[in-house]
Structure 1
Amino acid sequence: MTTVKQHPVLQSRGPQTFSSLLDTFFQDSVNNRRVQGFTPAVDLWETEKSFELELALPGVTKENIAVEFEDGVLRVSGERAFKKENQEQKYHRVENLYGKFRRSFQLPENVDAAAINAQFENGVLHISVPKVEEKVVKHQIFVK
């Protein structure tokens, strides 16, 4: 006996024409893209006085972005919504990624959490995390 693996999308469907199979392929591609979510690109650098981050968030509104800092971790989350304005539109290709995103960054202990600043302009979120004087974690004491 031979078993044949079927694609889950095509399982439980009867014979189809090539045209309807093509339509199904494109529709499933659109739906899968919407569900996957995306991971925004990040640039992270350090200056003498701060840590700086820039996240590329094209198509995201300021209201759909959350920035949190807790226990030394900076978290940026949000959602890029897929706008299908007209139900009669028949997408043939959707290459942009949509959905929820979340990025986390472990920062050193020498940051001023109360002074973190986030600004969103032209699809780019810029976060500035000021440094404070480094805490003395280990100090060698000489015996006299």
Structure 2
Amino acid sequence: MNTLLRWDPVSRTHWYPFKERDELGSRLATMLATRAATGDGGKEAMTVAEWSPLVDIIEDEKQFLIRAELPDMKKEQVKLTVENDVLTIFGERQFEKETTGHKHHRIERAYGSFMRSFSLPENTDGSKLSADYKDGMLTVRLPKSEKAKSKTIEVKVA
């Protein structure tokens, strides 16, 4: 390093004697925060993961579409609410244990409850929201309000 740098006692871009200790503490905190259960004989650790459905938000000139992937769920397990201009999608995907003597060797899909919330744009009306569920895909249609349609204003020369 051939550059002369101004000393900054707060910056850690230079030598920091406790860097390794801080990194170790951070890794330890991450390990403790992750709830882990051992797999088959402790050979593999499995993490209990919280899940959240993947969502696409699409806009065209008439509406907003919110598409959420909800595989292995029934429409009765999904609820939608609109309150204070916030759309909330929530539900629970339950793990169905088989009682036929089968042994699960690996479970990678996530189960449990989820909640996703979205602020509604000002140019929409939450009371006109509609939703349908087909093949594991929830589609929420949020039409734009009439006042949101753009209007061309001609500029007059004075």
Please give the TM-score of this superposition, normalised by the length of structure 1.
0.69
Calculate the aligned-residue CA RMSD, in Å.
2.6
Q: Pick from 58, 76, 89 the counterpart of residue 89 of structure 2.
A: 76
Q: Which has the higher contact order (CA 8 A, sep 6+)?
A: 1
Matches of 1:65 and 1:99, distance apart in 2: 12
Secondary structure of 2:52's aligned partner = coil
Structure 2 contact 39–45 (Cα < 8 Å) conserved? no
Per-residue deviation at 1:89? Answer: 2.4
Matches of 2:39 and 2:139, distance apart in 1: 42
Structure 1 contact 26–93 (Cα < 8 Å) conserved? no
Unaligned runs of 5+ in 1: 9-20, 136-144
Matches of 2:55 and 2:39, distance apart in 1: 36
Q: Deviations over 1:93-134 (max 9, x none)?
A: 111111111111112122121110000000000000011113
Q: Pick from 42, 46, 50 the counterpart of residue 55 of structure 2.
A: 42
Match of 2:4 in 1: none
Runs of 4+ in 1 over 3 A off after TM superposition: 24-28
Q: Percent identity?
A: 37
Unaligned runs of 5+ in 2: 1-27, 33-37, 150-158
Question: Partner letter of residue 25 of structure 1?
Answer: G
Are residues 1:67 and 2:80 paired? yes
